[in-house]
Amino acid sequence: MLKTIIRFSWILALLLTACGNQDKSQPEVKLVPEPGTIDYNGTFTMSWETAAVDYCIASGDWSGSIKTTGSKILGPLTRDSLYILNCFYSGNEVSDSVSVKVRAPEIPQVKLSANPLSIAFQDSTTIIWSSQHVKDCIAAGDWSGQKELNGSLKMEGLETNSEFRLICNGPQGEVSDSVSIHVYEAGVTVPHVNLTANPAKISYNGSTTLSWNTLNADICRASGKWFGSKARSGMQIIKQLNKDSRFILTCTIAGGGGGEGVDAAEVTVDPAPSPIVTLTANPSTVAINGSTTLRWSSSHAHSCIAIGDWSGTKSVSGTQTITGLRKNSMFNLNCIGRGGLGSDTISIMLMDGNK
């Protein structure tokens, strides 16, 4: 009888141990975007699964408390985006993050300008235009007909205020731009103003040089994206432009006689570059309960978020010592800037025999 009791106790202990091991599933969370790269203004489906967690909270470019398993259509997106899912169990946390890339937009664009913007009676001005992602362009207003996608045209003998409009069509729709020319009455002297920017297309935070010269002008003033009194001719370097900018120069005759001569220069600025993130660890292999020091740096970023086996908001550069490592670990750093999202990941491995 005693042997039977002992054997039954031993079998029961084995069964309880087996059941206990089955219950101790590893907490996990997994995010899957489909597709991972989308068109500008596109949408995608985010799916997620978890195991052995109590509840989950979304952060990054989505937010709020969500079910532990599910899917959701997200978008439309106009920039690269970061999605984080933090799940909690017994006071602990496990997380995953994914990024979704957005292709450069192919939005139709057209830009129309004139040099100069104000003229004397029967004088001339030159219309300049450029376009992107369009198939054809038609002139309207005080000119007409089919136009090349990019070009210039001298308009002579203007006698009244005129407006020139250009309408362009592309796969993504119609776009238009216009420019107005002020024509003074006969007998009014109008200073001639010529303002240019070189280069007219620059990189983000780049520089351009404005050059100008005038005829029959005494007093000049700047407006738009520069300001102040200016000499009748000169040059000026404009630095650290981070968006498309328009520079205007208006010149008059001393004493108030005559009209205002006006010209403008347009500068196109490339989009901000994507952040670049570098994350390293020293050492990258540690003994159980060992430590490692993470070092990171980034460029073109204004904030960073830690994911994986660390968490929280981080500075755009820094160091942090991680102690008490008891398992293989992964550290991910996502940094966000005006140009989108950049990330880097480092894995820390336990030495053989200590996993």
Mean pLDDT in order along the chain per 10 residues (355 residues): 45 45 73 94 95 93 93 93 92 89 89 95 96 96 97 97 96 93 95 96 96 95 97 97 96 90 95 94 94 96 91 94 92 91 92 59
Domain boundaries for CATH 2.60.40.2470 within the chain: 274-355
pLDDT of residue 21: 44
pLDDT of residue 353: 53
pLDDT in tens, 239-274: 999 999 999 999 999 987 889 999 999 999 998 998
pLDDT of residue 92: 87
pLDDT of residue 354: 44
> How many whole angstroms separate alpha carbon 221 and alpha carbon 341?
41
Q: Please tell me whether residue 34 adopts helix, strand or coil conformation.
A: strand
Domain boundaries for CATH 2.60.40.10 within the chain: 25-103, 106-186, 189-271
Surface-to-core class of residue 53, CB atoms within 10 Å of its CB (0-12 exposed, 13-18 middle, 19+ buried): buried
Distances (CA, A) of 249 to 48, 89, 207, 232, 309: 57, 65, 19, 10, 57
pLDDT of residue 279: 97
Instruction: Write down the CATH number for the domain with range 274-355.
Output: 2.60.40.2470
DSSP sequence for 139-178: EEESS-EEE-SSEEEEEEEE-S-EEEEEEEEETTEEEEEE
- pTM of the model as a whole: 0.69
Q: What is the second-level CATH architecture of the domain 189-271?
A: Sandwich (2.60)
pLDDT in tens, 159-169: 999 999 999 99
- Of the candidates 197, 272, 263, the one whose C-alpha atom is nearest the C-alpha of residue 232 is 263
> How many whole angstroms separate alpha carbon 206 and alpha carbon 219?
30
pLDDT of residue 317: 97
Instruction: Write down the CATH number for the domain with range 25-103.
Output: 2.60.40.10
With beta carbons less than 8 A apart as the criterion, state whether 60 and 84 touch: yes
pLDDT of residue 311: 87
pLDDT of residue 107: 86
Name, in order, each residue with C-beta under 8 angstroms of 275's C-beta and a sequence gap of 6 or more. Answer: 298, 299, 300, 301, 335, 336, 337, 339, 340, 341, 342
pLDDT of residue 24: 56
Instruction: Write down the CATH number for the domain with range 106-186.
Output: 2.60.40.10
pLDDT of residue 351: 86
